[in-house]
Amino acid sequence: MFDLDPFRPDAADVEIPAVGIGTWHMGEDGSKRREEVAALRHAIDLGFTHFDTAEMYADGGAEEVLGEAIADTDRDKLFLVSKFYPWNADPDAMLASCAASLDRLGIEQLDLYLLHWPGDVPFEETLEGARRLLDEGRIRAFGVSNFDEDALSDLADRQLLDMVAANQVMHNIPHRAAEAGLFPFMAERGIAAIAYSPLEIGPMREMEGLDEVAEEAGLTLAQLAVAWHLTLGLAAPIPKSARQEHLDQIAAAVAAAPLSADLMQAIDAIAPLPDPGTPLPIR
């Protein structure tokens, strides 16, 4: 099992494991379901407890894959996250979406439920739905995804941030915009950060000198990315893989953290922080 300090957002009585496994693209091809279920079970065997999914992923198919994978696992040992569409953000639709996600996952409660990206439903209505889900015990905490600093600042100005426990955004070595303003803003308000697309291997390969840093660390590029996230300590990365050997590599990267100060400085030299105001990438 991993011995990592969890993120402890002030907005909810939850502890978010510092690294998780994503399920984006799982459930899209029925012929791969056995492999995907086996990979997620292998991740559990390796010690991963934090799993992320969404009703958008394969129209609920990823939730079904994850539900099958965790069916024989002690629910209390897992931290399960799902996300709902912005057009399902009014109270009635939100409750229906949550019920469907819980059914596909085969569980009675989500640890964290996220608004997938900002939409047109007034946030006050979304908070009403979140309160109902919290009161009914269907979720332990509520949060958002793909909200930049301006969006969160607007909610803060309207005194609508109190229930937001976490914000899931794109963050990786090639795309560090969240560090320029968003993460400090969130930290001041006790909002935990979760990093999706934490690897970005293609763009990493194009960054001159990064291969040499990984080689010096005795890691692959993917492992370097995971260890970098955990050393930085700003967001919980949720890498995704349906291949057991890749999950073994991710687990080894967790064990390799923290990276030395020299290695972190070398990465900073190759991938410096962007200027404040750099748009937050969304995928």
Catalytic site includes residue 196: no
DSSP string, 26-71: TTS-GGGHHHHHHHHHHHHHHT--EEE--TTGGGGHHHHHHHHHTT
Take residue 219 and report the two structure tokens written for it: 């890691």
Amino acid letter for position 229: H
Alpha-helix runs per DSSP H in 171-243: 177-180, 182-188, 201-205, 210-217, 221-232
Question: Partners of 51 in the beta sheet?
Answer: 21, 80
How many whole angstroms separate alpha carbon 181 and alpha carbon 275?
9
Residue 16 DSSP one-character state: B
**CB < 8 Å & 24+ apart, contacts of 120-125:** 120/86, 120/87, 121/86, 121/87, 121/89, 121/90, 123/155, 123/158, 123/160, 124/160, 125/89, 125/90, 125/91
Take residue 126 and report the two structure tokens written for it: 């979304």
- Of 57, 85, 113, 196, the active-site residue reads 57
* CB atoms inside a 10 Å sphere around CB 191: 25
- What size, in residues, is the chain? 283
> Is residue 186 helix, strand or coil?
helix
* Catalytic annotation, residues: 57
